Amino acid sequence: MQVRVIAFGPLAEQLGGKEHEFEIPPSSSVRFLIEEIGIEMWLSNGLSISINGNKVGEDEPLSEGDEVALLPPVSGG
């Protein structure tokens, strides 16, 4: 199945752009997708994930056509 990934901030830089399409097996979780992309180190660094605009955890299942937003923690002050 195909999902769309939108990455922000340093994640967009790391992935070489903001928007990407990925082909993953049916019944895959967000964690599987993140591991396939190779950014699992962000999970322990405060990564926020949303599917179709709803904040979810890493074990959330994905469906065909989902839009997954990956939001790294914001620093500043």
Q: Where are the domains of the chain?
A: 2-71
Q: Which fold has domain 2-71?
A: Ubiquitin-like (UB roll) (3.10.20)
Do the beta carbons of residue 8 and residue 20 sit within 8 Å?
no
Closest CA to 60 of 70, 50, 69, 73: 50
- Spell out the per-residue pLDDT of the chain, length 77, in tens: 999 999 999 999 999 999 999 999 999 999 999 999 999 999 998 999 999 999 999 999 999 999 999 999 875 44
Do the beta carbons of residue 11 and residue 73 sit within 8 Å?
no
- pTM for the structure as a whole: 0.91
DSSP H or E segment with residue 50: strand 48-51
